[in-house]
Amino acid sequence: MILVTGGAGFIGTNLVRAAVARGEEVLVVDRLGYAAQEANLEDGGARVRLVALDLAAPGDALDRLLAEARPRAVVHCAAETHVDRSIAGPEAFVASNLVGTFRLLEAVRAYWTGLPEEEGRAFRLLHVSTDEVYGSRAPEDPPNREGDPYEPTSPYAATKAGSDHLARAWQRTYGLPVLVTNCTNNYGPYQYPEKFLPLVIHQALRGRPLPVYGDGRQVRDWLYVDDHVRALLRVLEAGTVGATYHVSAGLGPTNLEVLERLCAILDRLRPRPEGPTRALVRHVTDRPAHDRRYALDSTRLRRELGWRPEESLESGLEKTVRWYLAHEDWWRRAAGEDFRRWLAARYEPEVAR
Ligand code: DAU
């Protein structure tokens, strides 16, 4: 059995579903915050058990759970993840990403210390992180490699950077068998519609404006979530304790280019009688300290563990749009009261309507 924190969120859900499909039993620990949906895991049946728990809360609930469930591995996906929300309210990010990770590390350390020798040797804690810890890259900079200095800019990225440092410190100081992955921007099924691509799909399906920050020339290295999940399972299975692995497809489209492709796919799969989807694009107020470009070098993961992405940007975007079209109940549920409040707080009234 493996324990997945944040297993009812976007990447967590996709990871849990893939692990279950491979015959694993999974214990999900999730705070069930605004971006999580319990229903994501319902068809996992008896192989998935969900426990609602806030990792940042003091107490021994997690210690008891670990002692009872005896997982062979923990994958730490739980985090507050939206950069704009971290700018609007950083405290939740400090609580979840820093305090939550600290408490998890301490609970796992106590559990792992008490394991019989062989189980202790086989145990793994995989800390799931992001490319944003490195800060913004200039167009001519090479992609970041494992070990490059951290230069986070947003409160979100700073708290993720801190959580990476904690995870590595627990490995070095206490010998806890920690591995770290840093991944680029994910997209795909079950992503809460505040993030750029699901937001664009959500807005387009409702005939509403598609908000582009600033000039839209920022570059992200998009990865279909299933490719990330395969990387996580591979690192868990064969990664070296103490190592960091970058996960990336090595792409560099601008936001406007991705938007253009997404609009073309939407026009093909769900044409709008009023005209092309791209007519809905609106340039809106930029994000403060908006990072221009992220890029990761994933040579280590490819060479040492034989991973590579299976989806191209085109095939991944099409799969994503098809999923949202087939799961209108899901995104309508996700786009509830909290989402509407967020849109109204962040965007111009024309977008938030
Ligand atoms: O790079 C990995 C990171 O990717 C993850 O660690 C974060 O959790 C995740 O939120 C994401 O960060 P970004 O800030 O890159 O993702 P987001 O979807 O918010 O924005 C992607 C790009 O699109 C970014 O340049 C900002 C822009 N954008 C975003 C929104 C929400 C817009 O132009 N308009 C929007 O309305």
Q: Which mutation among 185, 187, 191 tests ligand 1's pocket best, with the greatest number of atoms within 8 A of CB?
A: 185
Tell me what pLDDT residue 45 has: 84
Q: Which mutation among 196, 261, 348 tests ligand 1's pocket best, with the greatest number of atoms within 8 A of CB?
A: 196
Instruction: Write down the domain spans for the chain.
Output: 2-253+293-339
* Closest Cα to atom 29 of ligand 1: 196
Tell me what pLDDT residue 122 has: 98
Annotate 71-87 with DSSP letters as a single string: -SEEEE------HHHHH
318 catalytic? Reply is no
Tell me what pLDDT residue 44 has: 81
The answer to whether the Cα torsion of 285, 287, 292, 294 is positive or negative is negative
Both structure tokens of 71: 């997982």
Distance 134 CA to ligand 1 centre (A): 15
132 catalytic? Reply is yes
156 catalytic? Reply is yes
- Walk along the chain (353 residues) and give the pLDDT tens digit of each residue: 999 999 999 999 999 999 999 999 999 999 999 999 999 999 888 899 999 999 999 999 999 999 999 999 999 999 999 999 999 999 999 999 999 999 999 999 999 999 999 999 999 999 999 999 999 999 999 999 999 999 999 999 999 999 999 999 999 999 999 999 999 999 999 999 999 999 999 999 999 999 999 999 999 999 999 999 999 999 999 999 999 999 999 999 999 999 999 999 999 999 999 999 999 999 999 999 999 999 999 999 999 999 999 999 999 999 999 999 999 999 999 999 999 999 999 999 999 88
Q: Which atom of ligand 1 is nearest to the CA of 294?
A: 1
* Closest Cα to atom 3 of ligand 1: 185
Q: Which mutation among 200, 220, 320, 346 tests ligand 1's pocket best, with the greatest number of atoms within 8 A of CB?
A: 220
Distance 83 CA to ligand 1 centre (A): 7
* Closest Cα to atom 35 of ligand 1: 196
DSSP state of 279: G
Q: Which of 54, 132, 221, 227 is catalytic?
A: 132
Distance 147 CA to ligand 1 centre (A): 24
Q: Which of 84, 131, 164, 227 is catalytic?
A: 131
Distance 337 CA to ligand 1 centre (A): 21
- C-alpha distances in Å from residue 159, one per residue of 7, 51, 175, 268: 20, 24, 23, 40
* Closest Cα to atom 10 of ligand 1: 82
Q: Which of 156, 224, 245, 324 is catalytic?
A: 156
Site residues for ligand 1, CB cut-off 6 Å: 81-83, 130-132, 184-185, 195-196, 199, 211-213, 218, 220, 255, 294
Distance 352 CA to ligand 1 centre (A): 18
Annotate 12-75 with DSSP letters as a single string: HHHHHHHHHHTT--EEEEE---TT--GGGGGGGGGGEEEEE--TTS-SSHHHHHHHHH--SEEE
CATH code: domain 2-253+293-339 is: 3.40.50.720
